[in-house]
Structure 1
Amino acid sequence: MAYVGLLYVGAVLFLNGVMLLGKADPKSIAVFNVFVGGLQVLTPTVLIVAHLDDPTALLNASGIYLFGFTYLYVGIGLLGDLDTSGVGWFSLFVAIMAVGYSFANFRLLGDGPFGVIWLYWAFLWFLFFLLLGLKREGLTRYTGWVAAIEGWVTGAIPSFLILTGYWRSPAVTAAALIVFGVVVFVALWPLTSGSWSPRGGRSGSRESPAH
């Protein structure tokens, strides 16, 4: 059930990235955030109730709430035209916890690929904190690209491979994810930071993604 939800986490990250890049109306994207946020609150609740005596299942399910609450927070904020600082500071909490879940996957669960994926999420949510909490609007385009890419690399593709039985060779997968993340996100920085507005064209300022 959790991996079904992961598929739609990929979708909402991709759409949020598209929104930050100025390619979609924020309020139309907000609706999908609410849909996925609701799913990502319902899913771990069902998993926890069904596995109260399984610490591993409880650990895995507990992390899903971080995403569910984020997407509900974003969706409601966009629909209500609210200031982004609240979701930004919550994103800092998520980023810190994501590092902890990465450690848990590496050391307690023996799941290298998802240990790396949690680091991807920690990086993205830290960008959300900088962009939405500290109002570093120069990061809008970079964050949009990172979110859109992570939607596929950490959500849609892993989920589909797991559901179809093709998620194999964990050591190779973890190494490939590390190399891909470092190369792509470093290369994106000079291409996207500081000189482009989210709607295309050179600009010295950026509009808030919440408006």
Structure 2
Amino acid sequence: MAYVGLLYVGAVLFLNGVMLLGKADPKSIGVFNIFVGALQVITPTVLIATALADPVTILSASGIYLFGFTYLYVGIGLLGDFDSSGVGWFSLFVAIMALGYSYANFQLLGDSPFGVIWLYWSFLWLLFFLLLGLKREKLTRYTGWVAAIEGWVTAAIPSFLILTGNWRNPSATALTLAVFGVVVFGALWWGTTHEWSLRGFQRGHRAMPVSR
């Protein structure tokens, strides 16, 4: 059941990334955030209620609330046109907790691919904090690209592979994810910050008085 929800987490991350890239209306994306947020609150509640006090199941399910509350918070904020600082500071909490869940997956659950995936999520939610909480607007395009890519790499594709029984070779998968994240997000950082600097230079150049 959790992996079905993860599939739609991929969808909402992709759509939120598209929105940050300026390709979709925020209110329309807000509706889908509420759909997925509700799913990601109901799912762990059912899993925990039926876990029969199994600590591993409860630990795994507890992290899902972090995302469910984020998407509900984002969806309501977009529809109500509220200030984003609350979501931003909650995202800092999520980013820190995601490090703990990464450790738990590596050391307690023996799931190295999801240990890496939780690091991906920690990085993305840190970007949400910087963008929404601290209003670092120059990170908008970078965060949009990271969210859209993570929607596929950390959620949609893994959940589909798990649901179809094709999630294999955990060590190789974890290494591939780690290398992919460093290379792709590093290249994106250079590209988007270079683009921002170039635009700033062009605006400054146009503003300069022309001598005759």
1:184 aligns with: 184
Q: Indicate conservation of the 8 Å contact 1:52/1:58, yes or no.
A: no
Residue identity matched to 2:58: L
Mapped partners of 1:42, 1:195: distance in 2: 41
Residue identity matched to 1:144: G
Tell me, which stretches of 5 or more residues in structure 1 are unaligned?
Answer: 205-211
Residue identity matched to 1:66: L
1:61-100 alignment runs, 5 A limit: 61-100=61-100
User: For each residue in 1:56-87, what CA deviation from the matched residue of structure 2 results, as whole angstroms up to 9, or x when unmatched?
Assistant: 00000000000000000000000000000000
Structure 1 moving runs of 4+ over 3 Å: 201-204
Whether 1:167 and 2:167 are equivalent positions in the alignment is: yes
User: For each residue in 1:72-131, what CA deviation from the matched residue of structure 2 results, as whole angstroms up to 9, or x when unmatched?
Assistant: 000000000000000000000000000000000000000000000000000000000000
Whether 1:54 and 2:60 are equivalent positions in the alignment is: no
TM-score by length of 1: 0.93
Q: Compare CA radii of gyration and give the structure with the larger one.
A: 2
Residue identity matched to 1:137: E
Q: Indicate conservation of the 8 Å contact 1:131/1:140, yes or no.
A: yes
Sequence identity percentage: 81
User: For each residue in 1:4-49, what CA deviation from the matched residue of structure 2 results, as whole angstroms up to 9, or x when unmatched?
Assistant: 0000000000000000000000000000000000000000000000
1:190 Cα shift?
Answer: 1.6
1:12 aligns with: 12
Q: Indicate conservation of the 8 Å contact 1:139/1:194, yes or no.
A: no
Mapped partners of 1:142, 1:187: distance in 2: 10
Whether 1:103 and 2:103 are equivalent positions in the alignment is: yes
Query: Matched residue of 2:53: which SS?
Result: coil
Mapped partners of 2:41, 2:71: distance in 1: 10
Mapped partners of 1:195, 1:160: distance in 2: 35
Tell me, which stretches of 5 or more residues in structure 2 are unaligned?
Answer: 202-212
Residue identity matched to 1:53: A
Residue identity matched to 1:9: V
Mapped partners of 2:27, 2:170: distance in 1: 39
Mapped partners of 1:156, 1:137: distance in 2: 28
Mapped partners of 1:42, 1:52: distance in 2: 17
2:114 aligns with: 114
1:142 Cα shift?
Answer: 0.2
User: For each residue in 1:124-180, what CA deviation from the matched residue of structure 2 results, as whole angstroms up to 9, or x when unmatched?
Assistant: 000000000000000000000000000000000000000000000000000000000
Residue correspondences, number: 201
Mapped partners of 1:116, 1:2: distance in 2: 18
**Structure number with higher helix proportion:** 2
TM-score by length of 2: 0.92
2:141 aligns with: 141
Mapped partners of 1:35, 1:202: distance in 2: 37
Residue identity matched to 2:169: S
